[in-house]
Structure 1
Amino acid sequence: MLRHHLLLFLRNIKRQKSSFLINVIGLSTGLACVMLIALWVSDELKVDKFYPEHQQIYQVIEHIQFTDGLQTLFETFSPMAEVLTEQIPEVKYAAATIQPGWFGKHVLSVGGENNLKAVGQLASEDYFMIFQHKLIQGNREELLQSPDAIVISKSLALSLFGTIDNVVGQQVEYEQKRPFQVSGIFEDVPLNATDRFDFVLSTEAYKDVPPWTSLNNWNSSGPQVYALLDEGADIAQVNAKIDKIRKEGNENSIRTPMLIPFSEHYLYGTYENGVQVGGRIEYVRLFTIIAILILIIACINFMNLSTARASGRLKEIGVKKAIGAKRATFIFQFLSESVLMAFIALVVALVLVTLALPEFNTIIGKQLELNFSPVAIAAILGISVITGLIAGSYPAIYLSGFNTITILKGKLNRSLGELWTRKGLVVIQFTLSVVLIVSVIVVYKQIEYVQKQNLGYAQEQIIRFNIEGKIKDQLSTFVLELRKLPGVKNASSTTHSMIGHNWSTGLDWDGRDPDDIKAFQIVGVDYDFVETMGMEMKAGRSFSREFGADSARIILNETAIRTIGYQDPIGKTVENGRAEIIGVVEDFNFKSLHERVEPLFMVMMPQGVKYVMVRMEAAREETALQEIQQFYERFNPGVPFEYDFLDENFQALYESEQRVGALSRYFAGMAILISCLGLFGLAIFTADRRRKEISIRKVLGQSALQVSVMLTRDFALLVFLSIFIALPIAYILANDWLAGFAYSISLRIWYFLGAGLIALLIAMLTVGSQAIQAANRNPVEGLYEE
């Protein structure tokens, strides 16, 4: 029986080559999209879950109560680690860290040679007991016991020593000054880790070094603290104990620490007023839905073409029914054929995925590979079988339900329900496609908007690099010499990266309600910072050498002035008279436009600055960069010169949106392609079925244009209906997505009409090409065949 079904399947392919090709192309394209998205989703879901005990690792976060609501920080005070291990029995280990994003790159060398920059982090003693990176050398319990210990990755060991053998006990110079002793080597941090680093130093080594003195401060919010809990520990009870300890220490504290699962932070990292409301999981859900929709569109093609071509199989079905074949036999046959078709499409899809994966990796910034593990193979085969069953379900039920006598008479009774089902499937296809097109337009316009938005300072022609090596001790001299270089317009230094959140604190002012607690961003700067960044002073002045020491003076932004309510702020004081307001700077945005500008103040902090900012003259960037690099290497020998452009780093804040936009364009294109393949197949079938009608109309005087319009009219009406249904859905989805931005575009009508017009034009070109071909056929051929 199976051999018989296979033979019939092959014969039908030979007889209906166009339908077969359209089905294979549609299904394979849909399966390829699903597999690519599945690879990405699977990788996202595995981030930070490679640790042996990741389900027992928790991170301390803090909800801070301000007047306008709760602010959630993923940092806390360093001594929290000691509190957890000493007072919470369920905590096995706890460790404080300064993450790579804050600690940054530093120069390491061996014997004054092999100077190279590597990404590091600070961590307290129990770090490697919580995060059990695979060790090549060293005792896990003793890795960070000494303040002079350094733990390095395998790659870093090879770069510094040329080997990983007998490296433990060797010395590594840090920043060409302080020697550290290698206490262990770990395997390189996997690519699917939130934080990737090359070396780890003990927090004890930095507890007295600015600005890391906050490691001992109970009022700081710099370090991140992690804990490993006993298996089966009740997290609700643990958090209740932490809150009890907090209240016993200071019942009026506005800070409420609590533990959340560490491995969920990556996907569920967005909080509003203390409530978890999403994060990257939203994109995972979005593309999962897109994958399902694309597969549905591909299955609809198969259903439509199979039912439309049913008349070609009347004789086969009639003869089998006449000799006693049951309906279940036909259902099994047609489902088997559709599953076999899905497996053929699967082979083609695997080829497409292999070809597309390098470009796909470039778009998403990952290094995904096709993995043919038993689980992956089972998943791929499972998706193919399900696709085949879904695609073949309706045709199987439809074809197997024909009446035997009607079939043997050679007349297929095409019911109104069947006609509307096929039309309904076409409407669903194009509704989904139009929604995707609108989404692509809105994402593109929003990204374009944030890229062109005035941030309150001029990002262009500014490079940023870390203060390290000899520069730390002679910063003023270095910056003054920088300004003299050809192509350099200005230079200064700051504690703030100007990208994202750094530090926030409270601020006191005359007349403040004791219950009015607000968070203020703090930016430590040196002279000429405002001028270098191209900021505009709305009142007063910036920090200047002409006015003597400005260490007891402060500059606030416009939002801060509105927050404290001063009408004429220049000359007034804050912090109980300790800081005089000398200027008001125009609001500027250093976070993504998902967030509104926060109250901010600047203070002179020349000893705590971390970054040098250099503004170059327009059209002289290349000259300036060469001069800066040569001067840097002379001034700071042995330290590699690494810099980045501020505007490029700011755009990186929208990396997720940019990737979503790029992927949406590709997948929307695939959805349109698959939908049009279905229309093309139906157009061929319609023209073939109405060949006699077309011939008679042409004989009676209708032109080719009139016949073409007749053939395309029904399809056009279906696409119009799809547009009518899709646009309200697209508006709701676009509006919801834009609500995540504090500053966003206004939805314009042409976004929606344009998407509808694009879908209509593509559909009409697809159907029209076949309609014109049919209309120009010699009518004698159609009549002769009849």
Structure 2
Amino acid sequence: MLKHILTIAVRSIQKHKSSFIINLTGLSTGLAFAFLLYLWVQDEKSIDKFHANDSRLYQAMMQSTENDLVRIQDHTQGPLSEALEKDLPEVEKAVTVMNLSKEGMDITMKNGENSFKTSGIFSGDAFFQVFSFPLLSGNAGTVLTEKNNVVISESLARKLYGSVDAALGKSLQWNAFGSDHLSSVTGVFNDVTSASTMKFDFVLTKQKLLEDLWQNGTKWSNTGPETFLLLKEGVNITAFNKKIEKFIDKYDKGNHFSLFVRKYSDAYLYGNYENGKQVGGRITNVRLFTVIAILLLIIASINFMNLSTAKVSGRLKEIGIKKTIGSSRRNLVYQFLGESIFVTAISAGVALMLVALLIDQFNFITGKQLSFHFSVAQLSGLFIIALVTGILSGSYPAFYLSGFRPLATLKGKLEGGVRELFVRKGLVIFQFIISLVLIVSVFIVYRQIEYAQTKSIGYAKENVVYFDLEGKIFENKKNFFEQLRRVDGVVQAGGINQTLIREDGGSSTYGIEWPGKIQSKNIDFVIRNVDENLVQTLGMQVKEGKSFSDSLGSNSSYLLLNETAVKIMGLKEPVGTKVKLWGEDKTILGVVKDFHTASVHQPISPFIFKCDPDGVSMAMVRIQAGAERKVIDNLTSFYSKVNPGYGLNLGFLDETFKAQYLSEERTLTLAKYFAYLTILISCLGLSGLAAYDTERRTKEIGIRKVLGADIKSLVTLLSKDFIKLVGIAIVLAAPVAYYLMDRWLQDFEYRIDISWWVFIAAGAIALTIALATVSFQAIKAAIANPAKSLKTE
């Protein structure tokens, strides 16, 4: 039976080479991209799942109501982990983590002349017991027990000491907040894999952080670190969350936080909250691209179905004879499915070669490190995809062709022709609906990204570089900034304690009081320490009052607020209003026009600038436009002179801003490729059907030409039916595309309107492509010599 199926399949391929090439091209490209998306989806779903204790590893989250909205945050109190482990029998271990990369902070690590700027974490001593980051040397239970212990990555160990073994027991010098520190290397861990969202090159101790660097972190009134819990087996999470809801009240009465836990590995895919409700996250893209992969395979399968049923007349006698000599319908179904699976198997082989060629480019687009190892798991997944595609492709032709009555087929009579024609047309319409939805999506995603990146953000981000302050700079910051402003090519320079561009807002406070404040309303103000020149350096506009300046004398008694802060506070005449910040008397000096501290996904936050030159730890420098390379060289040379032993690690403010939309840009790039691909596959099928339709009407075309029909009328005759199908697809695709894109745009606080011209442009593109595809076959038939078509009989 199998030999017979393969023989017939090979003969069918030989007889219908053009159909085979169309099916091979469509199926192989569709399968290749489906395979790539399968690898991407599997990788996304594996993020943070590698920890041995994954099923019991949870993160403490805090919920609060601020300005009548429910806010969820992962910043917790420094002492929370010890309290949870001590008071709750359900908690096996708890650990505090302060992730410096989330704070936008790098630290220079030194061993003699070797120094490298990198990011890491401060953590409790149970870190390597709770998380599965393998240690190459050192004991997981003891490497962080002493305050001055440090554990470093394998790559950092090799950079600083030459080898892993040479690093153990050695002293490591590092600088933070202007002071030098020495720690002893007690362990080395494997470099963190791409499967982890927590990225770090070193782990310092929580004791070092809270005792020497951030004493306020020991207070329950301050938040900052993250808290992770390893729960005991069998803990009911719903009951546990109910139990810990008001846990913080025990240590900080009158606070407005409630506590709950979420599974740590769920945060990557399900990290978005809206007004206290979990509303998805990256899982949206996983679902989106899964659907796109399925649609690609359906579109490719539709070509197979259409071309198989379109050429049914050539196989009528074969079906009739087989049925007459006793072949059952089931055997015929097996035969046609076998032929489909055979073609799909060849296509899968071609697809695997395409995957090998395209995977590096795909990784570049998606920012992944995917690889294809021909492992059992990967091959099994790809085999299932190919098998399902083969069965899907052959299902309709198999059941349709095997259902003919033998007597009718032997007479050459085609049953169900009208029904089959409607099915074919419906499948063509479905193909172009998908293509049109993707074309519209590309337009709208592009326009939204363009809007987000060109929208006025309230300050001039271009030609601004920034870098952390280190080493000797902390001895006299004022002198450093004075020298910095004299560097050739530097237009202006100011100081701040954290970068402005932060999705989570960075440092914030509830500790401000003002006349008329409603005590029951909790408002979290983003706050930054700045010097007198920061506002001018960034070109922010002062709407009312004035900015900090050297002429004011004691700038520390003044605050600058943005418009949103003034609005939320309900101040009618804010300038000159007396307020209290953390119990200290302050005066509102001026109001700055609103500016964005996060992407347009987020609303503008209420913001406070506090003038505290001694509290800044980052320089922001506006440089001369058009001479960037020269100015950066000047800055590098200047920095090495005033701060020997430390390298200048510059960031560009506009690039940091643009990086917030990296996910959307990757989505746009992939959507473009998918749109191109669906159009290509759809047009391949359309071309095949047009070729078959033209072939079927060869004599009709010949007769019409003999009777005087011109090329234009013949092209119109052969094209109009197919163009009608695309027109129907345009009408049906418009509401679907509008609904999907409207849902997508709802994730943005600031977004574009969906314009009517987008649908007209998408329709025009699809119509033009379809017309060009069909017209090619029509013109070829129209210019052929009619004598050849008329003398075939």
| Structure 1 and Structure 2 fold alike (TM over 0.5) | yes
Partner of 1:218: 220
Return the match for 1:567 from 545, 560, 572: 572
Paired residues of 2:85 and 2:93 also in contact (CA < 8 A)? yes
Residue 403 of structure 1 and its aligned partner are, at CA, apart by 1.7
Partner of 2:145: 145
1:191 aligned counterpart, secondary structure:
coil
AA partner of residue 395 (structure 2): S
Return the match for 2:540 from 516, 530, 535: 535
Cα distance in 1 for partners of 2:525, 2:400 equals 67
Matched, 1:739 2:737: no
2:615 aligned counterpart, secondary structure:
coil
Cα distance in 2 for partners of 1:720, 1:344 equals 34
Return the match for 1:466 from 468, 474, 496: 468
Cα distance in 2 for partners of 1:365, 1:607 equals 39
AA partner of residue 40 (structure 1): W
Partner of 2:586: 579
Partner of 2:675: 668
Partner of 1:646: 653
Aligned counterparts, 1:150-549, within 5 A: 150-175=150-175, 177-210=180-213, 212-249=214-251, 252-500=254-502, 501-506=505-510, 507-549=512-554
AA partner of residue 610 (structure 1): S
Partner of 2:766: 759
Paired residues of 1:103 and 1:121 also in contact (CA < 8 A)? no
AA partner of residue 46 (structure 1): S
2:610 aligned counterpart, secondary structure:
strand
Name which of structure 1's ranges 541-550 and 601-610 shifts more when overlaid on structure 2: 601-610
Residue 249 of structure 1 and its aligned partner are, at CA, apart by 4.3
Q: From the superposition, tell whether residues 52 and 588 of structure 1 become closer, same or farther in structure 2 (CA, over 3 Å).
A: same
Residue 411 of structure 1 and its aligned partner are, at CA, apart by 2.9
Cα distance in 1 for partners of 2:293, 2:95 equals 40
Residue 783 of structure 1 and its aligned partner are, at CA, apart by 0.8
Cα distance in 2 for partners of 1:219, 1:153 equals 34
Partner of 2:31: 31
Partner of 2:560: 555
Cα distance in 2 for partners of 1:411, 1:698 equals 28
Provide Cα deviations, 1:349-390, integer angstroms capped at 9, x if missing partner.
111111111111111111111132211111111111110001
Cα distance in 2 for partners of 1:105, 1:249 equals 33
Paired residues of 1:556 and 1:601 also in contact (CA < 8 A)? yes
TM-score (norm 1): 0.98
Name which of structure 1's ranges 537-546 and 605-614 shifts more when overlaid on structure 2: 605-614
Provide Cα deviations, 1:608-638, integer angstroms capped at 9, x if missing partner.
3231100012222222111111000111111
List runs of 5+ in structure 2 lacking aligned partners: none
Paired residues of 1:66 and 1:254 also in contact (CA < 8 A)? no
AA partner of residue 611 (structure 1): M
Residue 727 of structure 1 and its aligned partner are, at CA, apart by 0.4
Q: From the superposition, tell whether residues 411 and 243 of structure 1 become closer, same or farther in structure 2 (CA, over 3 Å).
A: closer
Paired residues of 1:495 and 1:524 also in contact (CA < 8 A)? yes
Cα distance in 1 for partners of 2:212, 2:146 equals 17
Partner of 1:101: 102
2:513 aligned counterpart, secondary structure:
coil
Cα distance in 2 for partners of 1:479, 1:247 equals 45
1:513 aligned counterpart, secondary structure:
coil
1:701 aligned counterpart, secondary structure:
coil
Cα distance in 1 for partners of 2:415, 2:691 equals 21
Name which of structure 1's ranges 44-53 and 451-460 shifts more when overlaid on structure 2: 44-53
Paired residues of 1:694 and 1:775 also in contact (CA < 8 A)? yes
Return the match for 2:599 from 583, 592, 595: 592
AA partner of residue 273 (structure 2): Y
Name which of structure 1's ranges 680-689 and 164-173 shifts more when overlaid on structure 2: 164-173
Provide Cα deviations, 1:196-249, integer angstroms capped at 9, x if missing partner.
111010121122445x33421211121111111112211222222222433444
Provide Cα deviations, 1:451-502, integer angstroms capped at 9, x if missing partner.
1100000000000111112222222211110100111011111122111110
- Aligned-residue RMSD, C-alpha: 1.3
AA partner of residue 674 (structure 1): I
Paired residues of 2:597 and 2:605 also in contact (CA < 8 A)? no
AA partner of residue 697 (structure 2): R
AA partner of residue 505 (structure 1): T
Paired residues of 2:221 and 2:252 also in contact (CA < 8 A)? no
AA partner of residue 634 (structure 1): K
Cα distance in 2 for partners of 1:358, 1:485 equals 42
Cα distance in 2 for partners of 1:244, 1:449 equals 42
Provide Cα deviations, 1:143-198, integer angstroms capped at 9, x if missing partner.
11111101001111111111112532111111393221001011111112112111
AA partner of residue 530 (structure 1): V
Return the match for 1:609 from 612, 616, 632: 616
Paired residues of 2:247 and 2:258 also in contact (CA < 8 A)? no
2:185 aligned counterpart, secondary structure:
strand
Provide Cα deviations, 1:75-117, integer angstroms capped at 9, x if missing partner.
111111011110011111111111132263211121x211111
Paired residues of 1:103 and 1:120 also in contact (CA < 8 A)? no
Name which of structure 1's ranges 64-73 and 445-454 shifts more when overlaid on structure 2: 64-73
Partner of 1:113: 113
Cα distance in 2 for partners of 1:779, 1:246 equals 89
Paired residues of 1:486 and 1:627 also in contact (CA < 8 A)? yes
Matched, 1:728 2:735: yes
AA partner of residue 39 (structure 1): L
2:613 aligned counterpart, secondary structure:
coil
Cα distance in 2 for partners of 1:609, 1:256 equals 32
Cα distance in 2 for partners of 1:39, 1:470 equals 49
Residue 577 of structure 1 and its aligned partner are, at CA, apart by 7.2
